[in-house]
């Protein structure tokens, strides 16, 4: 019988520092990384490019079964994970707010989520997996060894995202961003399948008053407690 592969599930809304934490933890441990949001973003992008109505669950699910999304790590730990769809690099394109919003619309369909379940679970490979998303601890990996739910006030999250976009030279009004993110949160929380919510056994961390380094330190402490042997090799 093959040994069980450990999973760390990190869930929560955008702008909480989830992505940064997951990339850092997976690289420190030398574990695989699943950015499940990138899967939904890639699907939202292709559906939009092909002019599919995003509210048509059957068509979007059919599209999902026919495209191949893959991830590859850069040579250096600080390099971003590259995302390709059917071989085309969409790493930067899927990070736009429009893609985030399209992702949340396609992600609301039960058939789409069911189709992506097997794909996401296939990321669970030795020596371990850090999974970033909205339903990692509740639905995709309910037996995860460590479940973390990062949260922060909507105002703080919008300000963080605003700053990130500004650094990339993208000019969006803070108010518009706040409204878009709030609408996305509402949709993610209200959908009938896999709504965004902390798993009952998740550690909930409010990052509103913590900078990125502090959030990482807090999460790394939890990882060390849960996986003392693996973390010891990297401290």
Please give the residue ranges that form the binding site for ligand C5P (CB under 6 A): 14, 36-37, 40-41, 100, 103-104, 107, 133-135, 184, 188
User: Half-sphere exposure (CA, 13 Å, Cβ side) for 93?
Assistant: 16
Distance of closest approach, residue 90 Cβ to ligand C5P, in angstroms = 13
User: 220-226 long-range CB contacts below 8 Å, 24 or more apart?
Assistant: 220/25, 220/28, 222/146, 222/148, 223/8, 223/25, 223/29, 223/146, 226/8, 226/145, 226/146
- In the complex, what is the shortest distance from the CB of residue 225 to ligand C5P, in angstroms, rounded to a whole number? 25
Residue closest to ligand C5P (Cβ): 37
User: Nearest distance from residue 40's CB to ligand C5P, in Å?
Assistant: 4
Q: How far is the CB of 235 from ligand C5P (least distance, A)?
A: 28
196-201 long-range contacts (CB < 8 A, ≥24 apart) are: 196/11, 196/12, 196/13, 196/134, 196/135, 197/138, 198/11, 198/12, 198/137, 198/147, 198/149, 199/9, 199/11, 199/137, 199/138, 199/142, 199/147, 199/149, 201/137, 201/147
Instruction: Tell me whether residue 24 or residue 103 sits nearer to ligand C5P (CB atom).
Output: 103
Cα–Cα distance, 116 to 168 (Å, whole number) = 30
Of the pair 14, 17, the CB lying nearest ligand C5P is at 14
**Residue with smaller CB distance to ligand C5P, 40 or 123:** 40
Q: Closer CB to ligand C5P, residue 101 or residue 231?
A: 101
Q: Least Å distance between CB 232 and ligand C5P?
A: 30
Q: Which is nearer to ligand C5P, 102 or 231 (CB)?
A: 102
């Amino acid at each position: 019988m093959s040994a069980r592969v450990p999973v760390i599930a990190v869930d929560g809304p955008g702008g909480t520092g989830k992505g940064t934490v997951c990339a850092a933890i997976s690289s420190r441990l030398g574990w695989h990384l699943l950015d499940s949001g990138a899967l939904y973003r890639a699907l939202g992008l292709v559906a939009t490019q092909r002019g599919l109505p995003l509210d048509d669950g059957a068509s979007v699910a059919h599209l999902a079964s026919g495209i191949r999304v893959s991830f590859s790590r850069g040579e250096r730990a600080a390099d971003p994970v590259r995302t390709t769809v059917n071989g085309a690099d969409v790493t930067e394109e899927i990070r736009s707010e429009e893609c985030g919003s399209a992702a949340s619309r396609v992600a609301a369909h039960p058939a789409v989520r069911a189709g992506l379940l097997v794909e996401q679970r296939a990321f669970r490979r030795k020596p371990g997996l850090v999974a970033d998303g909205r339903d990692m601890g509740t639905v995709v990996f309910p037996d995860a060894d460590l479940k973390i739910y990062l949260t922060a006030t909507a105002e703080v999250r919008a300000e963080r995202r605003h700053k990130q976009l500004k650094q990339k030279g993208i000019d969006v009004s803070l108010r518009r961003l706040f409204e878009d993110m709030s609408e996305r949160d509402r949709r993610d929380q209200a959908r009938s399948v896999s709504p965004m919510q902390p798993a009952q056994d998740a550690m909930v961390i409010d990052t509103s008053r913590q900078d990125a380094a502090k959030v990482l330190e807090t999460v790394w402490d939890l990882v060390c407690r849960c996986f003392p042997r693996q973390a010891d090799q990297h401290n």
